[in-house]
Amino acid sequence: MHLKRRAFTLVGLLCVGLGFVGTVVPGMPTTIFLILALFFFKKGSPRFEAWLLNHPVFGPTLRDWERDGSIKPRTKLVAVSTLWAALLITTILLWGRPIVIGIVVLCGLGVTAFILTRPNAGIAPNPSADQARA
């Protein structure tokens, strides 16, 4: 069991490293690697889990995700904008390979749909609007 916890912690640290690389490499995701790190730290290291959840930059986004799978609207905008900027560059670089471009665009559409369909974090539900619709 001890070996299993160490393995989870090691994979979590690898994910954190990839996430930090993603903060400086255009087109490489950051948040998904940190969400994965959080998952592995839950199983391997409560200390690293607490560190990640309390991180001044990444903590709020991870806490929103942890609480209810929500993403702040501004974060959605940045994520989708960055994604499509990277896809545009990829399309230019892969010009002349329509099948590859098609696969990349389909993946981009899927990721965009996933991001945009997550609940909005930080926006309190409006019960009066719900009652008006009923």
What's the mean per-residue pLDDT of the chain? Answer: 88
Residue type, 129: A
Instruction: Clarify whether residues 77 and 51 are in a common domain.
Output: no
Q: What is the pTM of this model?
A: 0.75
End-of-domain residue from the set 36, 69, 102: 69
Q: How many Å apart are CA 37 and CA 22, to the nearest integer?
A: 14
Structural domains of the chain, count: 2
Q: What is the pLDDT of residue 1?
A: 60
Residue 23 domain boundaries = 1-69
Instruction: Clarify whether residues 31 and 89 are in a common domain.
Output: no
End-of-domain residue from the set 28, 44, 69: 69
Q: How many Å apart are CA 130 and CA 134, to the nearest integer?
A: 7
